[in-house]
Structure 1
Amino acid sequence: MFRIGAHVSIADGFAAAVEREAELGGNCGQVFVGSPRGWAVSEVDEGDADAFRDAASEFDVSPWIVHGTYLINLATPKDDLATKSIECVQAELEATATLDIPYYVFHPGAHTGAGSETGIANVAERLSELDIPDGVMILLENTAGKGTTVGKRLPDLNEMVESSAYDYDDLGICLDTCHLFAAGYDFGDEAVMDDLVTEIDATVGLENVHYLHLNDSRHPLGSEKDEHEHIGEGAIGEAGFRRFITHDALRDKPMVLETPENEKGFAWNIETVKHLYAGD
């Protein structure tokens, strides 16, 4: 079954987030387990988890994914920030496990002048320090490449995994369309789309891509700017998205939207993706 959803708030509780997802027309979803711009992680008790699981089952919304706070930086050369990031990721992983959510995704971070090789090595080293709970997989998200962020290139994501103490049984990849496009990966015609799929398979492996973030881009190909736009209304466009989401190698992977929340909102974007997927 085609799984498409959006990032939803937990402000009214985890069960309410499931209901909100269903109202939007989604059948999978993404949440934070704390403030996206803070270090605090929400307390998740068994009552919260039971209510969430019951709602997800009732509305048939799955699989879910937790997005890590934006402050996490495993690539940093600063020991204090690295320690804080590791502790935060660990706490968010425990919350993810309590909710029985199978995936946790975060941005690898920035090397802030230490060099990309050092940044990538730092990510691998700090991933190795985590205790990944049973039933949870960490997904590394590709980045747009702005500034000193690491993870713009697919081989770099693979290096983070291969150089860590874990492997692709515990770690995986989440691909963001806006980030791919901003990093210079094109979906402009069938040939370049096939080239992208070939590179994904040759680096991280298609079987290790477990989730997709769908976002159009406000900026042109290769801009390295991470600014999301409504599906079909940015530089990727409807044709690019149709090509991406219907490709045989990607069409069965769960997809969530992180598009702007203004007058159109998530429901409009979910419906747009459904039409593109159906070939309308």
Structure 2
Amino acid sequence: MIRIGAHTSIAGGVPNAVDEQLDIGGNCGQIFTHSPQVWQDPNIGDDEAAEFRDLIDENDLGPWVIHSSYLVNLCTPKDDLREKSVDSMQKEVDAADKLGIEYVNVHLGAHTGAGVDGGLDNAASALDELDIPEGVTVLVESDAGSGTKLGGDFEHLAEVLDRSAQDLDVCLDTAHMFAAGYDLSTPEGVEETVAEFDEVVGLEHLECVHLNDSKHECGTNKDEHAHIGEGLIGEDGMRAFLNHEDLLDVPLVLETPTEDGKSYAWNVERVRELRGE
């Protein structure tokens, strides 16, 4: 059975993310533990965490991912930003442990002048400062690759996994890959991209996919998501990706728009149609 869900809100309490997931027909999911636009600590009470854990167990919902703050920049050469980023990530992995969530997802960030090699070293060493609880894994996410942001190339992901002493894995975002120049719009392109990822990083490290179509052309480095099958990746590319034999068991999390009268529920159903379920 396909594991497909969406990024749902914890407004009103973390258990509400489970209720929303059930409403849209999802069976796995992702949350922020707080507003991703500010430096803020997760504030999750013991009772709230226990209710969340009970709900996901009762409804067989999982795996779940915590998406880290957008302010986190692991590649930064700036000591103050690095310290804030590491502190924020430590609080996220601790929150994941409290909630029984398996993964914490993070972008590498931008090297802002440190250079690619320096930025990758910064990211790996920052991750090495974390005390990651047993049962929690940090996922490094692929990026659209604009400016000095790292993670757009599969080699960046492989290098961080290699340079870090932590047991890290990867989250791929289809819109980000497409924006970074990996053409997923045809079955042939999907096959080539998956083969390249396997060769460079290794499919054994792929634990989650952010499933999004793209509003912009391949290789533009522009990160703007579209409804599944309605962007420039399109139906053929999405169908090929969803049915690729090496990806059938990878959990999928939607970060698609909620516009044009098409909700997360619409996109969940669209994914199931394209998968042939």
Q: TM-score, normalised by structure 2?
A: 0.97
Secondary structure at the residue paired with 1:156?
A: helix
Shift of 1:258: 0.3
| Inter-partner Cα distance in structure 2 for 1:117 and 1:55 | 43
Tell me the alpha carbon deviations over residues 182-215 of structure 1, each in whole angstroms, 9 at most, x when there is no partner. Answer: 0111123333222211111112110110000011
The equivalent residue for 1:180 is: 177
| Inter-partner Cα distance in structure 1 for 2:262 and 2:184 | 24
Shift of 1:59: 2.1
The reply on whether 1:266 has 2:261 as its aligned counterpart is: no
The equivalent residue for 1:16 is: 16
The equivalent residue for 1:35 is: 35
Tell me the alpha carbon deviations over residues 118-143 of structure 1, each in whole angstroms, 9 at most, x when there is no partner. Answer: 11111011111111111100000000
Residues 225-240 of structure 1 mapped to structure 2, 5 A cutoff: 225-240=222-237
Contact 1:120–1:156, Cα closer than 8 Å, also in 2:
yes
Residues 8-157 of structure 1 mapped to structure 2, 5 A cutoff: 8-157=8-157
Query: RMSD of the alignment, in Å?
Result: 1.1
267, 270, 277: which one pairs with 2:275? 277
Secondary structure at the residue paired with 1:119?
A: helix
Secondary structure at the residue paired with 1:104?
A: strand
Structure 2: runs of 5+ lacking an equivalent: none
Shift of 1:45: 2.6
Secondary structure at the residue paired with 1:65?
A: strand
Shift of 1:9: 0.3
Moved over 3 A (4+): none
Deviates more, 1:108-117 or 1:175-184: 108-117
| Inter-partner Cα distance in structure 1 for 2:75 and 2:51 | 36
Secondary structure at the residue paired with 1:244?
A: helix
The count of corresponding residues between Structure 1 and Structure 2 is 276
| Inter-partner Cα distance in structure 1 for 2:188 and 2:237 | 12
Residue identity matched to 2:112: T
The reply on whether 1:248 has 2:248 as its aligned counterpart is: no
Residue identity matched to 1:110: A
Q: TM-score, normalised by structure 1?
A: 0.96
Residue identity matched to 2:276: A
| Inter-partner Cα distance in structure 2 for 1:94 and 1:188 | 38
Contact 1:67–1:106, Cα closer than 8 Å, also in 2:
yes
The reply on whether 1:162 has 2:159 as its aligned counterpart is: no
The equivalent residue for 1:209 is: 206
Contact 1:142–1:174, Cα closer than 8 Å, also in 2:
yes
| Inter-partner Cα distance in structure 1 for 2:201 and 2:133 | 22
| Inter-partner Cα distance in structure 2 for 1:7 and 1:62 | 12
Contact 1:35–1:41, Cα closer than 8 Å, also in 2:
no
Residue identity over aligned pairs, in percent, reads 50
| Inter-partner Cα distance in structure 1 for 2:38 and 2:171 | 22
Residue identity matched to 1:56: I
